Structure 1
Amino acid sequence: MTTAVFLGFIVFSLYLAIRSKKGHGAQSVHDFFVASRQFGAYLVFFLAAGEIYSIGTMVGFPGGIYAKGPTYGVWFLGYILLAYPLGYFLGPKIWQAGARYNAITLPDLFKGHYGSRALELIVAGSSILFLLPWGQLQFTGLVAALKGLGWEFDPVYLVLISAALAFTYIAISGVRASAYIAILKDILMVVAIVATGVAVGWKAGVGDVFHAASLQVSNQMNDTQLRFSMSTMLFQALGFYVMPFAVQNFFTAKSANTIRRTQVAMPLYMLMYPFLVLASYYAISQNLQLASPNEAFFAAAVRLLPDWLLGLVTAGAALSGLLVLAGICLAIGPIVTRNLLPGMPEQRQKQGAKVVIVVYLVLSISMTLATPNLMLTLINTTYYGVTQFFPGVIVILFSLKVRPVAIALGILSGQGLAIALYAQQADFGGINLGLVSLAVNLLVTVLANYAPRLARVQPA
C-alpha cells in the first residue's frame, strides 16, 4: 500500500507538469526559466515556499535536533523568520532590478548594474560552485528519507531515479512545472508532518515524550552555542534571498506587489515545526538506533503511521527534494549558457541549459555517494559562499555607485577566507565563520572602493 500511494502521487506530479505547459506552446528562454514574468501571487507563493521548505525541513531539521539537541532548532527557525522581513522589503526591489536589466539569473543583475565581465564571471562561477552542496543536500535527504521509510535500495539507484525525475519535470515546461508541482508538494509535506506529530502525541503522549527526551539531551545553551545560534541566524538570513534560485523565483512574478503579498503569508508555514520537534523528540525518547540522524523524522513515521499514510509521507519527502533539485537546475543552466557562455544565441540557450543540468546532476550525485555529510554541514557550506553576494546585491538594489573591482575583491576575499577558516576548523568563540568572512568582505569592498580616491587627494 505504501508503494502504491507513493507511485500514485509521483504519477500525478508528472500529470501536473504536463498540465502546466497547456496553452504556452514552444517556450522562449524567458518563459522556460522565469515564466515570462507572468506568475501571480499564488504561484509565486508556492514556488518560493517549495524552495524554502525542502527535504531539509523533513530530514535536516529533525536530524539536527536528534544529533545536536534542541539548540540546533533555535537558529534553524530563527534565520528563516528573520529572513522574511528582509524578503518583504528587498524582494520587490530584486524584481524591479530584474525587470530593469531583463535578467534571468543573479549574474545578469551584476552584469547589468556594474557592466563588468570579470565580476559577472566571478558571480556566475562561484554560484555554481557553492550550489553543488545544495544539490548534494537534496540527494542526501532523499536517500535518508527513502531508506528511513524502509526502502532498502542501493543509494546509487535512488539518486539516479531522483535525478531522472527532476530532469523530467524541467524538460516538460521549466519553471511552470515546478510551480504547479509545488502546490501538490506543499500539501503533502504539511499533511505528512502534522500527521506524524499528531501520531506521536496520540500514541506516546506529548508530556511523556518531552520528559523522556529531556533526560538525554540538554535544553540549555552555553555561551558558545548562543553566540553560534545568534550569529548564524543573522548570517544565513542575509544570504537567504540572494541564493541564485531565490532571486530567479522573484523574477517570475508579474509585479513587485506580488512579491510583497507572498512574503506576508510565508511565516504561516512555521506552524508545522512544533510537529517536527515532537517527532525528533520521539526518536530520542525511544532510544532508536538510527543509521543516520537524518532518519529521525521517518523513524517516528514508520513506527506510528498506517501504510497508506506512510505512502503520503514518502511522496511528500520525495517531492520536497525533487522540487528543490529542479529549482537549482533551473538556476544553474542559464548561468552557464547566458553568463559563462554569453555568445550562445538565445534560441540555443534552453537546449544548452539542459545539457548543463545533466552535468550538474551527475556531479551532485557523485558528491552524494562519495562524501555523505550531516545536512547541517552542507547547508553551512553553501551559505559560506552565497552570502558573500549580499553587499553587491544591496548596491544594485539601491543604485549605489561602487566600483565593480571593489565588489569583486570583496566577494573573493569573503569566499576565500570562509573556505580557509572552515578547512582549518577555526574557532571565534562560536561566531559563525561566514559572518566573520562577510565582515572582511565589507571591509575589503570599502577599502578597494575609496582607497584610489584617497590616494588622489593632494596634501594642502
Structure 2
Amino acid sequence: MKDVNGVELTIFIVFFAAVTVVGFAAARWRRGQTIMHLDEWGLGGRSFGTFITWFLLGGDLYSAYTFIAVPSAVFAGGAMGFWSVPYGAIAYPIVFLIGPRLWSVAQRHGYVTAADFVRGRYGSRSLGLAIALTGILAMMPYIALQLVGIQAVLTVMGVSGSGWAKDLPLFIAFALLAAYTYTSGLRAPALISFVKDALIYIVIIVAIVYIPTKLGGWDGIFDKSAAALAKPNPATGKPAGSLFTSDMTHWAYGTLALGSSLALFIYPHSVTGALAAGRRDVIRRNAALLPAYSLLLGLLALLGYMALAHPGVVAAVKHAGNPQLAVPELFDQVFPDWFAGVAFAAIGVGALVPAAIMSIAASNLFTRNVYTSFIRPDATPEEETRVSQLVSLLVKLGALVFVLGFDKSLAINLQLLGGIWVVQTFPAIGIGLYTRWLDRWGLLAGWAAGMAYGTYTAYDQASPTQSHFGSPLADIPFVGHTGYIALTAFVLNMVVAVVVTLVVRALKVPAGRDETSAGDYTADAGDRLAAPEDPAGELTGQSA
C-alpha cells in the first residue's frame, strides 16, 4: 500500500467498525422469544412499521449501486446513464399494485419467500424451485456490486496491492458482513439502514451545493461534460456519449427503464424487506413514500457530470481504466480529507445494508424452496433457520466469485445481468397475484425460454474490456432497434407461457391445487392461517 490517505482511511474504518457493532447489537433489538425461526431471523419478526420499512427498503434498493454504478454510467456515456431515474417512477405504481397483495397472502399462509407463494398458488414444487434458483442466481451479481463499491473507495484511499493483497479488503468486508448477518438476521440491516441513509443524504446535499462552487457552477459543469463526451472513444472511434439521448438510444433508454421496473420489487431482497412489514398498509404507504429516493438518485447521477468536468478526476479514471472510480476520485480531489472520509464511509455502509438483506433473501429461498421442499419436508423452524444462516455465508462467497471473475470497469452490468434473470419470474409472481389463468407448465416453459434466451444473448455481448457479458443491451428481433435483453426475454417468456397454457388446457392436463383463496390477497395482520410454529403450513408435503 502506497500513499494511503490516513485521515480518510481512519474515518472510514471508524464508521465501518461502528455499523458492525450496530449489526451485532441488532440481535437484541425488537427480538421475539427466539431468533431461531425464519419469521424472526429472516423477516425481523414480521413487525416493522412504516418508518422502519421505509429506511429498510430505501437502504435495500438504493445502495453502492446508487453511489458508484449510476454516476459511472453517466461519466462513461452521458444521458444514457439517467435511465435509472425514470424507472423508479414506473416501478412504484407496480409496487403499489402487487406489494400489498403479496404481503397479505404471505402473512396469511406463513410464506417467507415469493417462491413459497408460487408453489402454493400453482401447486407446483418444480415451478417454486425454478423461481427460487433464479432468485439466488440473480442475487450473486447484485451482492458482488456492493462489494465492488467498497473496493472502489479503498482503492482511491490508497489501499491497493497485487495478488491476494489487492482483494483482501473484499474478504474483510465479507467476513464482517457474514458475521453480523449470521448473528442478527434481518434486524442488522434494518438498524444499520438508519445510519446509512443519514450519511448518504448528508453527503449528497453537501456534494450538490459544494462541488459546483469548485467547478465554475452548473453552466461550466455541463459545458465541460458535453465537450468531454463529444471526444471520440479510442476503442470505438465514436463519441463516448451526449448530454441528450438520441434517436439511436431511445429504445435502449426506454427498455432499460421499463425492464428494470418489472424487476425492482420481485427481486428476493425487495420481497424480504416488504414481507418484514407488520401491516398491509405499511406496503401501500411505502409505495407512495419511496419515490422520494428517486430525487436522490437523480442528484447522484449528476455526480457523473461533475466528475467529467474535473480534469484531475478524468485523468485519474483514464489512468486506472475504470469509470467506477469517478465518484470516489471526485470526492477525494474536491472534498477536504475529513469529509471525503465521511463520503467514503457512506458508500461503504451503503454497501453493507443491501448485501446483508440480499444474502438473507437468497438463503431463505434455498432453505424454504430447496431444503425443506425436497430434502427435509419435516424440518423444524430451528433447523430451517440454521440452514438459512449457513447458506447466507455461501451466498456471499458466490458473490465474491462474481467480483473476482468479472470485469468491473462498468459495475452496473453486474446488476443488469441479474435483472435479465429475475424479470423472468414476473409472470409467476406479479401476474399470479391477480390471476391463475396461466398454467404452471406454461409458466415453467416460459421461464425456461426466457432464461435461455436472456443468458445466451447476454453472454454473446462484447465490450472493449470483455468478450462476454459486456452489455445488457442487444438487437431486438424483428424491431431493428437495440434494447434491454431482459425485456425481450420477458416477451418471449410470455408468448411461450400463453401458447403452452393453451396446449395443456386442450390436453386437459391437471392444473394443480391452488391453496390460496380470494380473501387471502386482501387480508391484514391477525388473519394468518399457518401457525407460527409451523412456518411451512400446508406447503410441506405438497407434490408436483
TM-score bracket for this pair, using the shorter chain length: over 0.9
2:248 paired with 1:239? no
The residue correspondences of 1:337-376 to structure 2 (distance < 5 A) are 337-342=367-372, 343=376, 344-373=379-408, 374-376=410-412
The residue number in structure 1 matching 2:226 is 214
Q: Distance in 2 between matches of 1:382 and 1:87?
A: 19
Contact 1:199 1:304 (C-alpha < 8 Å) held by counterparts: no
Deviation at 1:221, TM superposition (A): 2.3
Q: Distance in 2 between matches of 1:87 and 1:376?
A: 23
The residue number in structure 2 matching 1:10 is 16
String of CA shifts for 1:323-349, please: whole Å, max 9, x gaps. Answer: 111011101112112211111332112
Secondary structure of the corresponding residue to residue 245 of structure 2: coil
RMSD of aligned residue pairs (Cα, Å):
1.8
The residue number in structure 1 matching 2:100 is 92
More helix by share: 1
The residue number in structure 2 matching 1:67 is 76
The residue number in structure 2 matching 1:308 is 338
Contact 1:59 1:145 (C-alpha < 8 Å) held by counterparts: no
Q: Distance in 2 between matches of 1:131 and 1:262?
A: 23
Secondary structure of the corresponding residue to residue 332 of structure 1: helix
Secondary structure of the corresponding residue to residue 454 of structure 2: helix
| Alpha-carbon spacing, 1:326–1:256, altered in 2? closer, same or farther (3 Å) | same
The residue correspondences of 1:3-402 to structure 2 (distance < 5 A) are 3-20=9-26, 21-22=28-29, 24=31, 26-27=34-35, 28-73=37-82, 75-152=83-160, 154-204=165-215, 205-217=217-229, 218-287=242-311, 288-289=314-315, 290=317, 291=320, 292-342=322-372, 343=376, 344-373=379-408, 374-402=410-438
Letter paired with 2:332: V
Q: Which runs of 5+ in 2 are unaligned?
A: 1-6, 230-241, 462-473, 509-544
Deviation at 1:407, TM superposition (A): 1.1
Q: Distance in 2 between matches of 1:129 and 1:293?
A: 26
Between 336-345 and 423-432, the greater mean CA deviation after superposition:
423-432
Letter paired with 2:443: I
| Alpha-carbon spacing, 1:129–1:18, altered in 2? closer, same or farther (3 Å) | closer
The residue number in structure 1 matching 2:486 is 434
- Normalized against structure 2, the TM-score is what? 0.80
| Alpha-carbon spacing, 1:96–1:84, altered in 2? closer, same or farther (3 Å) | same
Q: Distance in 1 between matches of 2:359 and 2:61?
A: 15
Deviation at 1:179, TM superposition (A): 0.6
Contact 2:55 2:193 (C-alpha < 8 Å) held by counterparts: yes
Between 94-103 and 398-407, the greater mean CA deviation after superposition:
398-407
The residue number in structure 1 matching 2:440 is 404
Q: Which runs of 5+ in 1 are unaligned?
A: none
Contact 1:169 1:178 (C-alpha < 8 Å) held by counterparts: no
The residue number in structure 1 matching 2:232 is none
String of CA shifts for 1:266-302, please: whole Å, max 9, x gaps. Answer: 1222333454244322221223221210011111111
Contact 2:156 2:325 (C-alpha < 8 Å) held by counterparts: yes
Contact 2:81 2:301 (C-alpha < 8 Å) held by counterparts: no
Contact 2:255 2:487 (C-alpha < 8 Å) held by counterparts: yes
Deviation at 1:23, TM superposition (A): 5.3
Letter paired with 1:101: H
Between 191-200 and 175-184, the greater mean CA deviation after superposition:
191-200
Contact 2:75 2:307 (C-alpha < 8 Å) held by counterparts: yes
| Alpha-carbon spacing, 1:443–1:44, altered in 2? closer, same or farther (3 Å) | same
Contact 2:140 2:396 (C-alpha < 8 Å) held by counterparts: no
| Alpha-carbon spacing, 1:368–1:393, altered in 2? closer, same or farther (3 Å) | same
Letter paired with 1:179: A
Q: Distance in 2 between matches of 1:230 and 1:200?
A: 30
Q: Distance in 2 between matches of 1:2 and 1:347?
A: 43
Between 175-184 and 91-100, the greater mean CA deviation after superposition:
91-100
- Normalized against structure 1, the TM-score is what? 0.94
Identity %: 24
Q: Distance in 2 between matches of 1:280 and 1:401?
A: 45
Letter paired with 1:152: S
Contact 2:303 2:327 (C-alpha < 8 Å) held by counterparts: yes
Q: Distance in 1 between matches of 2:329 and 2:106?
A: 44
Deviation at 1:60, TM superposition (A): 0.2
Contact 1:62 1:277 (C-alpha < 8 Å) held by counterparts: yes
Q: Distance in 1 between matches of 2:103 and 2:287?
A: 13
| Alpha-carbon spacing, 1:414–1:23, altered in 2? closer, same or farther (3 Å) | closer
Contact 1:196 1:300 (C-alpha < 8 Å) held by counterparts: no
2:450 paired with 1:414? yes
Deviation at 1:40, TM superposition (A): 0.4
Deviation at 1:435, TM superposition (A): 1.1
Contact 1:165 1:322 (C-alpha < 8 Å) held by counterparts: no
Deviation at 1:229, TM superposition (A): 0.6
Deviation at 1:117, TM superposition (A): 1.3
Secondary structure of the corresponding residue to residue 278 of structure 2: coil
Q: Distance in 2 between matches of 1:389 and 1:152?
A: 39
Q: Distance in 2 between matches of 1:130 and 1:18?
A: 27
Deviation at 1:399, TM superposition (A): 4.4
String of CA shifts for 1:351-375, please: whole Å, max 9, x gaps. Answer: 2222212222222112212222312
Q: Distance in 1 between matches of 2:371 and 2:183?
A: 24
Contact 1:2 1:307 (C-alpha < 8 Å) held by counterparts: yes
